[in-house]
Chains A and B, each alone.
Chain A
Amino acid sequence: MSALSDRFDAIEAEGRAALVCYLPVGFPDVETSIRAMQAMVEAGADIVEIGPPYSDPVLDGPVIQLAVAQALERGVRMADTFAAVRAVREAGAEPVVMSYFNPMLQHGLDAFARDVQQAGGSGVITPDLTPDAGADWVDAARAVDLDTIFLVAPSTTRERMHLTAEASRGFVYATPLMGVTGERAQVGDAAERVVAEVREAGAERVCVGVGVSTREHAAQIARFADGVIVGTALVRALGEAPDPESGIAAVRERVTQLAAGVREGR
């Protein structure tokens, strides 16, 4: 079993869902982003999704696009991602990297898997790589016992649900809505359907992301999913603050609320 599986077992024993929180590395600067990730862990994040910025983030909405563009302008490097992984591991949560494929490819897939694992990372989420295109990546990750987390969407066919469940380790990332990252007023029934379908296809753990921003959303999703993933709302909290300290405080407050949410669902 993997580190993520063990963590999910422990969380399930507490009778709740996991809270998975995303931030991009280097926004508004490297130090603040890493401190904000540590604050998220203190406030109740079980898993931190660490995002190395990429120049062409086709699955991200405007809030994250602007944040990663700013991080790149300031010269963020892949080495900063590995530093963030170490910091999150030391803070006591499971670090998971969420990366677009080309930065992984240029780093070298074997080297990337090894560097994430050696920094203390548990797995990697690949938003623009599907299992059928990612055989080389799966091999590289398996070699160092790193979890591979793939996505499913409402448009995913039953055949592809099986393919994805089979290739994923740790958890499957379910996106309940069609669309890029961003906050939504409603999360909707599609989430529950997608989770049920991918479970039926063999997925052990399923976390739900895209569109989640409030304590109520978190509680609603915690009823039927193993984890609740939040990203844009946290990036916005960090970005709207007048200075890094109040940004980190805002993130901490938001995560505290969401952590309460994942404990209310069941």
Chain B
Amino acid sequence: MTGSLQQAPGPFFGDFGGRFVPEALMAALDELTDAYDKARIDPPFTQELDRLAREYTGRPSIVTEVPRFARHAGGATVYLKREDLNHTGSHKINNVLGQALLTKRIGKSRVIAETGAGQHGVATATAAALMDLECVIYMGEEDTERQALNVARMRLLGAEVVPVTTGTRTLRDAINEAFRDWVANVETTNYVFGTAAGPHPFPAMVRDFQRIISVEARAQMLALGGLPDAVLACVGGGSNAIGSFDAFLDDDGVRLIGCEAAGDGVETDRHAATLTGGRAGVLHGSRSYILQDAEGQTLPSHSISAGLDYPGVGPQHSWLAEIGRAEYWPVTDAEAMEAFRLLSRTEGILPAIETAHALAGALRLGQELGPDATILVTLSGRGDKDVEQAARWFDMLPGQDA
């Protein structure tokens, strides 16, 4: 491999990626690709996106050192990149503002989106309110139950939330339903895809919109004394992870570690660790690793975290795993919840359960590397939406006295 790995343009990342969709969507995807290729180098677009990042999202997000937490990570130095402090509470807003601006630019008046944990749905509903777009969010019925607070947030923001009752009633089925809507309404509607997966241009475009995480973090780490030994992020579809990795891809000394949801354990059939337990195939428009049976039927995934409960992963992660530039570690529900508890109690920061998987990875890595190591973890979202679920896990709800 020669040259820079940063900002790989797609449609293919090695053998992964591409565009495997019904013909009905090809014209819209071509239009979107073309519009994005022009917008990304057009000063009025990039300046407006920068302004929104600054004045609406609240960027740059800060980096916080967490020494009390780090004592449990082999005494390593641990920093958190605080995407949880963004408006709407996660990294999702970075991507959504870009895609919503692009929607206006191509003259469409309606946006649709899928959501798992609800973070992408909330961010999309927010951007739609800001930019006066009609907004419909597809969300698996099981997820509407475990993330009821986010359903209410989306509705308060003026979006219509459609619970998806087919299949496994989770993120994957929400994506299927959003694709069906798009096929029927492509003339008026843009699909604001939530993660760095799906057909081209989404993997590259979403990565570019999330890249600001690593661009800021890299400069912040240099200002703090040097590049970290490793960058960790949780991986469901993988948008916060790819955004956290991109600016570090050419820094050979920086290990990049994506933490996948191992649910009850990768040795069981209840997990969502696609790169650990899956193999290559085509799902939701691109070639990547997927959890599937011998005949190519997608397997149900499981994770305590709705945002990671997805049997696919973005194609650039499959490629980075294949070429050995990034590592992907499975983290169980129990490990993630222990890290959730630890960060809450040692630092007064409630992470999203998704993010807690990356924190668990940091604990493991710190114990492996010891006190000389510097570890950067992307704190992709805040845990407010997870309070009820976490309280139930720890038997803290009234009437649940242990």
Contacts and interface: CB of A to CB of B under 8 A. Distances in A.
Contacts of B26: 130, 155-156, 160
Contacts of A154: 24
Contact of A127 (B22, B185, B294, B298): B22
A43 interface: no
A34 B167 CA distance: 25
A58 B297 contact: no
A56 B296 contact: no
Interface residues of A, number: 41
B131 interface: no
A160 B23 contact: yes
Contacts of B186: 155, 178
A72 B184 contact: no
B126 to A, nearest CB: 27
Contact of B281 (A57, A65, A105): A105
A201 B296 CA distance: 34
B168 to A, nearest CB: 9
Interface in A145-172: 150-157, 160, 164
Centre residue among B18, B292, B297 by max chain A CB count within 10 A: B297
Interface string B170-184: 001000100110011
Contacts of A107: 295-296
Interface string B275-307: 000000111100000101011111000000000
A2 interface: no
Contacts of B23: 130, 150-153, 156, 160, 164
B64 interface: no
A55 B167 contact: yes
A77 interface: yes
B180 A61 contact: yes
Contacts of A156: 23-24, 26-27
B108 to A, nearest CB: 13
B48 interface: no
B369 interface: no
A180 interface: yes
Contact of B283 (A56, A59, A104, A180): A56
Among A61, A77, A103, A104, which residue has the most Cβ atoms of chain B within 10 A?
Answer: A103
**Which of A56, A127, A151 has its CB near the most chain B CB atoms (within 10 A)?**
A56
A101 B282 CA distance: 7
B45 interface: no
Given A69-B166, A106-B294, A133-B19, A58 B24 contact: no
Given A78-B295, A106-B281, A128 B27 contact: no
A175 interface: yes
Contacts of A57: 176
Nearest to A72: B297
A65 B167 CA distance: 9
B24 A103 contact: no
B162 interface: no
Interface in B9-58: 18-28, 30
B19 A106 contact: no
Contacts of B30: 157
B372 interface: no
Interface string B152-175: 000000000000001100001000
A129 interface: yes
Contact of B298 (A55, A104, A128, A155): A55
Nearest to A151: B23
Given A55-B167, A102-B281, A178-B184, A128 B297 contact: no
16 contacts: A58-B179, A59-B24, A78-B295, A101-B20, A102-B298, A103-B297, A106-B296, A153-B22, A155-B24, A155-B27, A157-B27, A160-B26, A178-B24, A178-B185, A178-B187, A179-B180
Interface of A: 54-59, 61-62, 65-66, 69, 72, 77-78, 101-107, 127-130, 132-133, 150-157, 160, 164, 175, 178-180
